[in-house]
Amino acid sequence: MSSNRIGRINEEIQRELASLLQTVKDPRLQGGLVTITHVDTTSDLRYAKIYISSLSKENEKEMMKGLRSASGYLRRELGAALRLRYTPELQFIADDSIQQGAHILEMLRDPNVVKPANPANEHIVLEDEK
């Protein structure tokens, strides 16, 4: 099976699950914004790792429990939406890449952390420092 086909299947699973997550009635998933960052399906289409990111870290464990309990419903609905021989078993994994990116961006904007690369540019005053 070609990796191009697996890539298309991953994208389709991500798209379908993003719309299906809005239909889940579990209260653990209602509170925060849940984003599917990446899908990784095995070549035999038996398992799919779904990488999930949330803006609120304090409810992350409850959100993951809610996703695991809704995995049967999500798998059934995914199987109805996709025309595959096998509907993969969904494994949800917490992904904190969005928060890491926000932290790096915050550090880059802090003049105490990031110094000018060229000492000749130290005379430049940023808008935030006025």
Side chain identity at residue 121, one-letter code:
N
Q: Cβ distance 97 to 35 under 8 Å?
A: no
For the residues 102-126, what does the mean pLDDT come to? Answer: 73
CA distance 82 to 116: 51
CATH topology of domain 3-114: GMP Synthetase; Chain A, domain 3 (3.30.300)
Evaluate the CA torsion angle 85, 11, 74, 42 in order and state its sign. Answer: positive
**Band of pLDDT at residue 107, cut at 50, 70 and 90:** confident
* Longest alpha-carbon distance in the chain: 64
Q: What is the pLDDT of residues 65-100, one digit of tens each?
A: 889 999 999 999 999 998 888 899 999 998 887 778
Residue 68 CA neighbour count, 13 Å, CB half:
10
**Residue 85 has what pLDDT?**
84
The band of 128, judged by pLDDT with boundaries at 50, 70 and 90, is low
pLDDT tens-place string over residues 13-42: 999 999 988 888 888 887 667 889 999 999
Q: How many angstroms separate the CA atoms of 21 and 6, rounded?
A: 22
Angle between helices 60-69 and 71-81 (to 10 degrees): 60
